[in-house]
Amino acid sequence: MQQNDSIHAMRHSLAHIMAAAITRLWPEAKLGVGPVVEHGFYYDIDLGHQTISTENFKRIEKEMRKIIARNEAFEYFELPIDEALAWATTAKQPYKEQLLNDLKREGTTSMSGLDSEQVGVATENPSKVEKVSFYRNGDFVDLCRGPHVESTGKVGAFKLLRIAGAYWRGNENNPQMQRLYGVGFATDEELQAHLHQLEEAKKRDHRKLGKELDLFTFSDLVGQGLPLFTPRGTIVRDLLGALSQGLQAAHGYQRVTIPHITKTDLYKKSGHYDKYPERFNVSSVESTDEFMMKPMNCPHHAQLYASRPRSYKELPIRYMENTMVYRDEKAGELHGLSRVRAATQDDGHVFCTVEQIEDEFTSIMTMIRQLYDVFGMQLRARLSFRDNSDTYLGEPELWDKAQQTIEAVAQKLGLDYFIAEGEAAFYGPKIDILVTDALGREWQCATQQLDFVQPMRFGLTYTSQDGSEQQPVMIHKALLGSFERFMAVYIEHTEGRLPFWLAPEQVRILTINDSVESYVDKITTILSKTLLMEPVKYNELRFTTDMRNESLGKKIREAVALKIPMQLIIGPKDVVAKQVSVRMHNKEVTVPLDELSGFIVKESTM
RNA sequence: GCCGACAUAGCUCAGUUGGUAGAGCAGCGGUUUUGUAAACCGCGGGUCGUGGGUUCGAGUCCCUCUGUCGGCUCCA
């Protein structure tokens, strides 16, 4: 704890030193805020029409080092609020003035609960704070809550990393400032280790690996956020889909199929139309109706349910479909496969009675756990419940009962969970699953949501045991979530080294010379009869043969670059010994020809 | 969408103060028949992302558009 406090003070002090250095280099700089963030700090600066680029970092760092070398003390002092305001005016620091106005009026600079018009506005009312604190080092003075290290010499190791635009107080109507980011650590070793870690993360970037492993690509002509999957990438997608659907089939889900464009009327009736400004409209369909690309599948599945009268005896009805949805995400939000405009969901909808919710949630949670066990990923559940606001539709008693059920399921299954009040959708509570990747980052993948509203809007019913008409509850669920996002997460998690069952090319035969051709025929006959049943059923072995007139070294190099998990090296010695030399990521063994098939099946599950 | 940076051969990149493009790998042809991460020789390949402008002359300078990357959540 002690150490956390001291590193925090170091980083905060570095923010001040950076601001001091910039003020020295650009005396007209207007300062915003300069907080501590994970691994470092930033400061928001307004230089008017001038721009700072990363080329200026050396100059700024040099100036910072001078301040550090002078080992100036950080002196604390307080000023009455009105004197502080006078200081801001004299120092020509309008952003500081706004912060002081907020302090005077609200007693805090936190904007939560404030109308945006109020932020930064002066008040004539009595101040909520009497005095505000300042820190001074050398001739640089800044409004600051602290804490700081004793003097500028005690800030550890730092490096300026990047620069970005950021709106003053996060509001896009405000002036945009330049945000300079730096990292800071107690020792140079820690700094170097951090920079090294950043390099490692870069190596795992799924956009880079996707290209190297020939999994997917993008095209300017097709458009932003619209990935194209190569044959290899498509194999991975299909297998992920097969795994998800295999699990679901075992839990009573049936596949359905719907078209990808729809009359907008469908989404007007479901209530999604107004909630989805990022829809893709399709204007040239020859009809008086307006059409759009589907941003979600639930209304369609609801129409399948509504296609004929339903009895309580049929429930639960469970539909599943791996299908693409289209959303016009903001251009700046797009990022490789993790945020796209065409995303494939392993979507599913359950129509059931209120009494059946518990069993269905248990079943869905069980599938999610089975799925992420296969990937070896840890998960955490966020139970998104309603708060006391009136934005939620449906009977409050139903909500309470459902939320109790959901938490009971989480407890029963021993989930690592937490409750997020106010995070529920307007139509019902949900469980979102967060998975942690190898770099410790958390991603939202699987989700399951209760929906009280769509059955109502679409007038879905079933006939109950006593002959009365009842409304079913709808459950939305996705196990992988979006295939695209999951692939991004999983590629980075595994560094592109996909497990054997999922590798697009599982085995490559590498020949040493062309005297082994007929022996290779025997091997391919064995491989083509080898079938994997776990974790996806009837998974035929995917293999190729490299008989090119190239050196073995080169063939190995290429196979390794594609992260093909198993290479069979075949030369004259192997022919004589009736064996195969098997080369894998971490080991190399020789296997008798008649044991090859069994060996591969065994290795595939490890 | 907004701010900043970037866009040169299939890939990774070089291209000096403006004087109409280079390397390695990949590809193709030949030689080589090879035992654990790149054999050798040769050849072809680029409207320098798009459109416009400045200039005698633009990959290089200016503008537009498209795309890519980093941010736009962290609150004295």
Is 80 exceeded by the pLDDT of residue A293?
A: yes
How far is the C-alpha of A569 from the C-alpha of A556, rounded, in Å?
A: 9
Choose the most confident range, by mean pLDDT, from A54-68, A265-279, A563-577: A563-577
The residue from A46, A347, A451, A574 that is catalytic is A347
How far is the C-alpha of A508 from the C-alpha of A555, rounded, in Å?
A: 10
Judge whether A465 counts as a catalytic residue. Answer: no
In a 3-state reduction of DSSP, which class is residue A60? helix
Q: Give me the residues paired with residue A352 across strands.
A: A473
How far is the C-alpha of A585 from the C-alpha of A265, rounded, in Å?
A: 54
pLDDT in the model for residue A565: 96
- Split at pLDDT 50, 70, 90, the class of A69 is very high
- Split at pLDDT 50, 70, 90, the class of A363 is very high
Average pLDDT for chain A: 89
Q: Region A41-66: what's the mean pLDDT?
A: 80
Nucleotide nearest to A166 (CA to C1'): B72
pLDDT in the model for residue A55: 67
Judge whether A148 counts as a catalytic residue. Answer: no
A28-42, A51-65, A219-233, A291-305: least confident range: A51-65
- Split at pLDDT 50, 70, 90, the class of A203 is confident
pLDDT in the model for residue A166: 80
- Split at pLDDT 50, 70, 90, the class of A2 is very low
For residue A592, give the amino acid letter.
P
- Split at pLDDT 50, 70, 90, the class of A5 is confident
A133-147, A251-265, A372-386: least confident range: A133-147
Distance A162 CA to B53 C1' (A): 33
Judge whether A445 counts as a catalytic residue. Answer: no
Query: So what's the ipTM on this one?
Result: 0.90
Nucleotide nearest to A169 (CA to C1'): B75
Q: Region A130-145: what's the mean pLDDT?
A: 86
Is 90 exceeded by the pLDDT of residue A162?
A: no
pLDDT in the model for residue A1: 38
What DSSP assignment string belongs to A487-545? HHHHHHHHTT---TTT-SS-EEEEESSGGGHHHHHHHHHHHHT-EE-SSSTTEE--EEE
Q: Contact at 8 Å (CB) between A335 and A211?
A: no
Q: CA end-to-end span of chain A, whole Å? A: 41
Judge whether A298 counts as a catalytic residue. Answer: yes
Q: Which single residue has its CA nearest the C1' atom of nucleotide B26?
A: A558
Judge whether A345 counts as a catalytic residue. Answer: yes
Beta strand ranges found along A7-86 (DSSP E): 30-31, 36-37, 40-46, 75-80
Strands A543-546 and A507-511: parallel
How far is the C-alpha of A308 from the C-alpha of A456, rounded, in Å?
A: 16
Distance A298 CA to B64 C1' (A): 42
How far is the C-alpha of A503 from the C-alpha of A149, rounded, in Å?
A: 52
Task: Name residue, tokens 């590193």.
Answer: A7
- Split at pLDDT 50, 70, 90, the class of A441 is confident
Rg of chain A over Cα atoms, rounded to whole angstroms, equals 30
The residue from A11, A339, A341, A349 that is catalytic is A349
